[in-house]
Chain A
């Protein structure tokens, strides 16, 4: 696969001390679906706008298919954008909106007609050709914005929080739809979002950003299973953090003492014995043991909170040392009172060593 976008030490400085984007280097491959994920103010939108040409970096270089486009205006780049508010032209029909970019390319009326037809068919809204944007629903507007952007067959399509204006149900549906569309047209997608589910569902690769820098990049699974920092573990999925101290280390396995017990962990980092660390545990990876069931790598505590969330129960468990963690328990077909453990009941938990995240430093308040 060829590299389509090269970000080479890109920085964006707003004031003497304000760095929007801090020395980011990133390559995007042709046909890839890359997501820039992070909370607001982490620089992800600025980075996207610099790729689109709406802002100029204060340092570094952007190459599109090998060509330096760092300071080219948006209308001279083979890149198109789906805006957060869709930015459909209110005074033009759906058809004219989609055709606009083609007219400016100098396509013949015949070609414009065919390509508008194809693009609208792709998003399933050809019958809306003659309507105005204000006559469409939010989801339809979103699809028209998509059609308008891909009709020019850009090398890269930029999506700025494309689903944030939709309601939850539609958002979920559009996630898969957008992913399928990307596979169908084969265009490179770079999406910005603060929604981790969106990122996990749609992306080939996720770039997690923190304060203008890349916190971690990798496939959704890599990020989920091996978060490189507390920040990433907290941002992607749910993680409870517990204080621990390294007890012993033997070939790749680190034993860590946690309030009244100890767990084995496959640590990615080398730590000295006796070091204060933070343990990260995902509720769905913590298994509640049946009475008398034997297992390795266990902790014990008592139930102090029960949360019902449809799919199952999330149990708050207080360990002997006072620390609290969460464990998920899927429910059988029918929920009866006997499946809900009473508060205060002692329980034992088991975790696979590779599901115990170890981060250096003490737990932050």
Chain B
């Protein structure tokens, strides 16, 4: 090896950098690994080291009807809220991008405002409104409540993508004989599709684990986070850890799907 006076300090710098990265990763992921580990632990108490491997907690989940209902409700709410936000948010983003109308800037700000509002405020105000117009609380009111906050997410993401799309693409389509609708479906939509999908996935996840708004707006039905929250009053059980592990798994699969989806599109 040739003697390089900078070699040693470079190794030191590299080592320091790697340590830092490892620390950040640990900070992010150690809690999740602990959760997963305890979900397979045969002992009921949450103490290290684990006493043995078991699938009992998962078996227990399989027979828990209350939990099943909560999961179904959560999927129903998250799906409904995602569809509703996309139906409102995507056209809103297109309108802001494409048209100049009086009060456009105000509209842009106002549509983003609900994201910054604390969930509690959204929850209480929506509760007031539903009492006022006499709509009974149900999972549907939860969907409406989630949608108000999530529209901002969808509009921001889709609008940002539209802004990065050169205006000349749409003009080129018109130039080549496409009417405005044809140009939208042939050119604009395929180019913002991945933004819509990722905004939809994000909305789904945010809605899925939302508590404050749900707390105020749900009727007798419970969503999964509400259910977990209520069981926690009896302390953390390995059962809850098992639910958590399943959620981590599902999220991981969703992330993989969305990454593969965008990747495939880029290569095509």
Contacts and interface: CB of A to CB of B under 8 A. Distances in A.
B174 A73 contact: yes
A83 B176 contact: no
Contacts of B190: 91
A74 B175 contact: yes
B131 interface: no
A85 B175 contact: no
Nearest to B171: A54
A220 B173 CA distance: 34
Interface in A52-85: 52-54, 73-75, 79-81, 83-85
B237 interface: no
Main DSSP-derived SS at the B contact region: helix
Interface in A103-149: 104-105, 132, 148-149
A261 interface: no
Contacts of B166: 85, 87
Interface string B173-209: 1111111001000110011000000000000000000
A334 B171 CA distance: 54
A80 B175 contact: yes
A91 B173 contact: no
Interface in A174-230: none
Q: Which of A73, A79, A83 has the most CB atoms of chain B within a 10 A radius of its CB?
A: A83
B171 A75 contact: no
B172 A87 contact: yes
A101 B177 contact: yes
B186 A100 contact: yes
Interface string B134-158: 0000000000000000000000000
A81 B172 contact: yes
Contacts of B178: 75, 100, 104
Q: Which of B174, B177, B187, B268 has the most CB atoms of chain A within a 10 A radius of its CB?
A: B177
Given A83-B168, A104-B182, A89 B175 contact: no
A87 to B, nearest CB: 4
B97 interface: no
B242 to A, nearest CB: 42
A29 B26 CA distance: 72
B174 to A, nearest CB: 4
B173 A100 contact: yes
Contacts of A75: 174-179
A90 interface: yes
Nearest to A81: B175
Contacts of A101: 176-177
A93 B231 CA distance: 55
B168 A87 contact: yes
A286 to B, nearest CB: 45
Nearest to B179: A75
A152 interface: yes
A269 B174 CA distance: 48
Nearest to B176: A101
Contacts of A87: 166, 168-169, 171-172
Contact of B174 (A74, A105, A132, A152): A74
Contacts of A53: 174-175
Contacts of B169: 87, 89-90
A83 B175 CA distance: 10
B174 A91 contact: no
Contacts of B72: none
Q: Which of B168, B176, B178, B190 has the most CB atoms of chain A within a 10 A radius of its CB?
A: B176
B171 A83 contact: yes
B174 A89 contact: no
Given A104-B176, A104-B177, A91 B171 contact: no
A228 B191 CA distance: 49
Contacts of A54: 171, 174
A149 B174 CA distance: 12
A84 B171 CA distance: 12
B104 interface: no
B265 interface: yes
B176 to A, nearest CB: 3
B172 A89 contact: yes
A90 B168 contact: no
Contacts of A100: 173, 176, 178, 186
B191 A90 contact: yes
B221 to A, nearest CB: 42
Contacts of A52: 175
Nearest to B187: A89
A91 B268 contact: yes
Contacts of B265: 91
A157 to B, nearest CB: 11
A126 B174 CA distance: 25
Contacts of B268: 91, 132
Contacts of B168: 83-85, 87
Nearest to A76: B177
28 contacts: A53-B175, A54-B171, A54-B174, A73-B179, A74-B174, A74-B175, A75-B176, A75-B178, A75-B179, A79-B175, A81-B172, A81-B175, A85-B168, A87-B168, A87-B169, A88-B172, A89-B173, A90-B169, A90-B191, A91-B190, A100-B178, A100-B186, A101-B177, A104-B177, A104-B178, A132-B268, A148-B176, A152-B176
Given A52-B175, A87-B166, A104-B178, 10 more contacts: A53-B174, A74-B175, A81-B171, A81-B172, A83-B168, A83-B171, A89-B169, A90-B169, A90-B191, A101-B177
Interface of A: 52-54, 73-75, 79-81, 83-85, 87-91, 100-101, 104-105, 132, 148-149, 152
